[in-house]
Structure 1
Amino acid sequence: MTMRSQPTARQVRLGSELRKLREAAGKPAKEVAALLGSSSAHMSQIEAGSSAISEERLRRLAAHCACTDQELIDALVAIATDRTRGWWDEYRGVLPQVNLDVAEAEHHATFLQEVVITHVPGLLQTPDYARAVFGYMRPELPESELAPRVEHRMRRRAVIEGDSPTPYETIVHEFALRIRVADRQTSLAQLRLILDQIERGHVTVRVIPTDQDGFAGADASMVYMGGPVPQLDTGLRDAPIGIMFIDAEAQLKRLRTLFRKVEKASLDPTASRDFIHRITKEL
């Protein structure tokens, strides 16, 4: 099969999960490759996400590795056989690959949980807010690069605004709600959009007030995405090299624990809505 020069995060995740199946069964790559009528080099490419794998080969691999979790196997097959092109593919070559990977991951998520400290969550941003944030990047982006970033961010909102919105819960620090990334009008419109999303009933927002005791998580920003099965949950965190996708169970467990800790320091949804209302009046 044709080698992928730049596999997507989802393709890389599939390869990673196949490697986990093989290693959990104690099977060397050479043995599994022989079973599939392939080579060790090709097996490495499959596990790196650089080469595709057919449904028949995937199921044969799972059976050889004594995997009896049919839901997991079916979920892996769904990833392996997915040939649909999402709207994010329109931005291939226009935006960095990670932007496309995030949109694809959100599209396939069964639920979304997010913690933000310094900015309003991307899924809840208005065009003017997003433009102000992207416009502050250094070096400054020309309009030809700024416009598609804003447009892409707005289109990502489809996951929480479509006919079957994905359950979305976000915890936002008061600082992110009060800081004016542009002007008063932009901030007011941004807060009103958040309130509108809350009223629609498909988004849950919790606020951490600045005077709240028991919150020491200034670096707690994170995203947790539910997979079709728990083993395929995904985490996102900012790293020095950019956004990092997390799939190791130990790390995912830490993210789940972090979300619960931050949640304890936040107001409940009703109090949070009222809190945001008060901020709009103060503007």
Structure 2
Amino acid sequence: MATRRNPTARQVRLGTELRRLRDAAGLKATEAATLLGASSVQMSQIESGIAGVSEERVRRLAANYACTDDELIGALVGMATDRTQGWWEAYRGVLPASFLNLSELDHHATFRHDVAVIHIPGLLQTESYARALFSYMHPELPESELEPRVSHRMKRKVVIEGAAPIPYKTVIHEAALRIRVTGRVDYRAQLARVLEMSEADHVTVRVIPFELDSFAGAGSTMVHLGGAVPRLDTVVRDAPHGTAFVDSEAQLEHFRKLFRRVEEVSLAPEKSRDVIHQLARES
């Protein structure tokens, strides 16, 4: 059983879910290892994502843990046997692992929900907007490191612009639409980009206007990615130490409710487009 030096977030998640099943069954790691015919070290490596696990072993573990959720088991088997070498692999060793992990999660997502308060969501950004944003946030980056970040962000659009786009909902605060990260011409192009994508059948864009009373959700920025089953959803948030991937059921349910609350107070898609058209005229 080969081990990995740097498991991806998806590989770590598989191990985490297997550990959660074991915990729910009330078994210790050593007991589970014995039932699997493995050593305690191997069991630890599987549950940390350092070591891969076969379909047969996933199913044996699920049986030992008395898990009868066939959809969940099937999804875990899919994660264990997936050998996708996506476009993001070209950036391995070039960009931080969090960039690649997000791309991989996007690739496997069944839907994506964004809440953006300060900046336009990444999937809707133009190249000039993304470049200006990265340049400001990381002024120390040389061109050789800045450009891969920009090109990577542009390629991520495949999840909503490619041959098999996923359902995408985003709630954008008016502040993010008004802040001119770029110059006037590029700013207009950015608004046009948001409007263009808002017309797609699989995309829903809603705006939270400044005039909304009693909105205390300025800290609601998040990305919610749908898993093969709801239990395997992931919420991505920016944190002081870097990108945080949230996956505990209690936290996921909190963010599901948070998205619904933000969505409920936002403008309908038609009125949201009216707001963006007005901003474009004013620019």
Q: TM-score, normalised by structure 2?
A: 0.98
Number of residue pairs the alignment of both structures matches: 283
Q: Does 1:158 align with 2:153?
A: no
| Amino acid of the structure 1 residue aligned with 2:112 | L
- Match of 2:237, SS? strand
Q: Which residue of 1 aligns with 2:225?
A: 225
1 CA distance for matches of 2:138 and 2:226? Answer: 33
For residues 13-92 of structure 1, the aligned pairs below 5 Å read 13-92=13-92
Flag as ranges the 4+ runs of structure 1 deviating above 4 A.
Answer: none
Q: Which residue of 2 aligns with 1:190?
A: 190
| 8 Å contact from structure 1 (residues 236, 243) kept in 2 | yes
| 8 Å contact from structure 1 (residues 234, 246) kept in 2 | yes
Bigger CA drift: 240-249 or 135-144?
A: 135-144
1 CA distance for matches of 2:138 and 2:280? Answer: 30
| Amino acid of the structure 2 residue aligned with 1:251 | Q
Bigger CA drift: 85-94 or 253-262?
A: 253-262
For residues 111-130 of structure 1, the aligned pairs below 5 Å read 111-130=111-130
2 CA distance for matches of 1:275 and 1:107? Answer: 31
| 8 Å contact from structure 1 (residues 111, 225) kept in 2 | yes
Deviation at 1:243, TM superposition (A): 1.1
Deviation at 1:158, TM superposition (A): 0.2
| 8 Å contact from structure 1 (residues 233, 247) kept in 2 | yes
Deviation at 1:41, TM superposition (A): 1.4
Deviation at 1:3, TM superposition (A): 1.6
Structure 1 residue ranges without an equivalent (≥5): none
- Match of 1:270, SS? helix
- Match of 1:278, SS? helix
2 CA distance for matches of 1:37 and 1:200? Answer: 51
CA RMSD, Structure 1 to Structure 2 (Å): 0.9
- Match of 1:61, SS? helix
- Match of 2:243, SS? strand
Deviation at 1:139, TM superposition (A): 4.2
Q: Which residue of 1 aligns with 2:249?
A: 249
| 8 Å contact from structure 1 (residues 223, 237) kept in 2 | yes
| 8 Å contact from structure 1 (residues 214, 265) kept in 2 | no
1 CA distance for matches of 2:235 and 2:174? Answer: 23
| 8 Å contact from structure 1 (residues 213, 265) kept in 2 | no
Q: TM-score, normalised by structure 1?
A: 0.98
